[in-house]
A and B are shown apart, each in its own frame.
Chain A
Amino acid sequence: MRADTNTNKGFFVKYRYWIIIGGILLLMPPLSLLFQFSQDSNFCGTWCPRMFFSWRKGMTGGEFIIGFARSYLGVALVFGVLISTFFLGRYWCSHMCPIGGSMEVGSKIVPDFLKINFSGVPSSPVRYGYLSVYLIAPAIGIGSLCCNYCNFATVPRIFGAAFSPADLSYFFRTAGLINLGLVVVLGFLAKGGRAYCNFLCPIGALDAVSNRLGLRFGKRVTVNDAKCNACGVCAKACPTWAIEIREKARIDQLSCMPCRECEKVCTKEAIRYGRFKK
């Protein structure tokens, strides 16, 4: 099948996995380079990209703002991601995120017969159901999903566990094992490796909104209806099951990230990143 495809693709298509692996080597233990510029060793603390937008019951406005100040590098990261997505699409998710990237690369190593296909589950309702509870539950005092269920805490510690007793300690408790289970089942064992990203990532959920809102202004993966013959190869290749085949292929911009796996496999060159001239 590969022989029929257009091989003249750009750097971000050809070398996506290498970019992800490079990011993992730089950002995950044992090196954890990004975090060492601050006083941290992982995504927790200053770099936490999730806790700052979670309002807890009884919190004052001042405390909420202090949360932004405490995790200022995580705040910068998230706003950077949202702004870049608005104009360029979700390159953070597809190429940069060492967490989603680790799960996707890990899933490539798992043999196909072990993989679970989650594409029967509509991702947006699950994602936004989770995000609603993520935001509302702490605000009304039910409890928190933040931190208790966090793949940004789990994945770096999978890498670190071999080297550091502190990282290994993360898994010596039920919550750590549950998180490991979620990462394994929805990440490493998922077909495409992105079910966790698609269902349970709060940043991904916000980023998807930015992707959708910026649709008119920025570059996205698009289908040329004139060329598309609705063969469905792209839908099978999509790790986030964002493509639906009706009369033509349709891309759900709430789930699409520009990994461009669809573009790689399309024999008709009917999919590209950017717009087709009408």
Chain B
Amino acid sequence: MSIKKTIFFILSVAVSLVAADYRWGDSAHSIGLIRAKGGEARHPATLQSGDTGYTLIATATVLPPYKGNARVVLEGEPKLDYKIHLSAPVVDLKLHRKPELRNDILYDLQPRDRIALWVLMKPPVLDPVCGMAYNDKFSKHTHDGKDYFFCSEHCLETFRQAPEKYQVTGVRGKYTLAFYDTNTGKAVLSVPVIFKAKGDMHDAGRHQH
């Protein structure tokens, strides 16, 4: 092997290792089992707090004997805006029966069906002092070229006294993408969606697939 080839091999290994190790905090993939008695995701989907939008790819397989319709809801406080899309052929030749998604309800789930949902999430803007989610009573304040939003004069005043103490962190903690059977109301799958601070992200997504 020539020196040039050796250098490119080492470079390729180094860059690939960095690429394999690095994880983008605005997306995650969860793999779950939909089960009549309550199914679980193989691992929680971990996302980095502070981004303006997130994508969760939630794939799931239906375990026999479950069949039915399931409402999909993203639960947690403060509430996130979200949209759910089901991956399906654009031109469906109807060679197979498939579950369908309408108004966030998965219709006609049958044993061994495999679904792939794309969940687009948008977190609310938070008051950096008290953590309250934005509503139309909030007031805007600009500091160091950045916009901040406050629920009250009190929070704004607290911020003004020591702005370096308060950074916009985004939502934190546990949310759940829950699948409820529309007949029984029971959860047939719960996917934990966890928002972590940047420093806590290192172990996230290790077992993504």
A30–B92 Cα distance when bound, in Å, is 9
B208 at the interface (CB under 8 A from A): yes
Contacts of A121 in B (CB 8 A): 8
B201 at the interface (CB under 8 A from A): no
A137 touches B113 (CB 8 A): no
B162 at the interface (CB under 8 A from A): no
Contacts of B54 in A (CB 8 A): 173
A38 touches B9 (CB 8 A): no
A126 touches B8 (CB 8 A): yes
Known interface pairs A125-B8, A129-B16; A172-B55 also in contact (CB < 8 Å): yes
B88 to nearest A CB, angstroms? 6
Which A11-49 residues have a C-beta within 8 angstroms of B? 29-33, 35-39, 41-42, 44-46
B27 touches A45 (CB 8 A): no
Select the residue from B13, B85, B116 with max chain A CB neighbours within 10 A. B13
Select the residue from A29, A38, A133, A164 with max chain B CB neighbours within 10 A. A133
Query: Which residue of chain B lies nearest to A171 when distances are taken between CB atoms in the complex?
Result: B55
Known interface pairs A33-B93, A166-B88; A129-B20 also in contact (CB < 8 Å): no
B26 touches A173 (CB 8 A): yes
B89 touches A147 (CB 8 A): no
A166 touches B85 (CB 8 A): yes
Which A136-195 residues have a C-beta within 8 angstroms of B? 137-138, 141-149, 160, 163-167, 169-170, 172-176, 178
A175–B208 Cα distance when bound, in Å, is 13
Which A37-76 residues have a C-beta within 8 angstroms of B? 37-39, 41-42, 44-46, 51, 54, 56, 58
Q: How many residues of A contact B (CB 8 A)?
A: 57
A138–B98 Cα distance when bound, in Å, is 33
**Size band of the B side of the interface?**
35 or more
A142 touches B17 (CB 8 A): yes
Interface of B is mostly: mixed
A140 to nearest B CB, angstroms? 10
A133–B20 Cα distance when bound, in Å, is 8
A165 touches B114 (CB 8 A): no
A130 at the interface (CB under 8 A from B): yes
A145–B10 Cα distance when bound, in Å, is 17
Known interface pairs A56-B209, A137-B17, A166-B86; A31-B91 also in contact (CB < 8 Å): yes
Jot down 23 A-B pairs with beta carbons below 8 A, ordered by A. Answer: A31-B91, A31-B93, A33-B93, A39-B113, A41-B90, A45-B116, A54-B209, A121-B8, A122-B4, A122-B5, A125-B1, A129-B12, A133-B20, A134-B20, A138-B20, A143-B205, A149-B19, A164-B85, A164-B87, A169-B55, A169-B118, A170-B55, A172-B53
Known pairs A36-B96, A45-B114. 14 more at Cβ < 8 A? A29-B90, A31-B89, A31-B90, A46-B114, A121-B8, A122-B4, A125-B8, A133-B13, A143-B21, A148-B19, A148-B23, A165-B83, A170-B55, A172-B55
Which A residues lie at the B interface, using CB under 8 A? Answer: 29-33, 35-39, 41-42, 44-46, 51, 54, 56, 58, 121-122, 124-130, 132-134, 137-138, 141-149, 160, 163-167, 169-170, 172-176, 178, 199
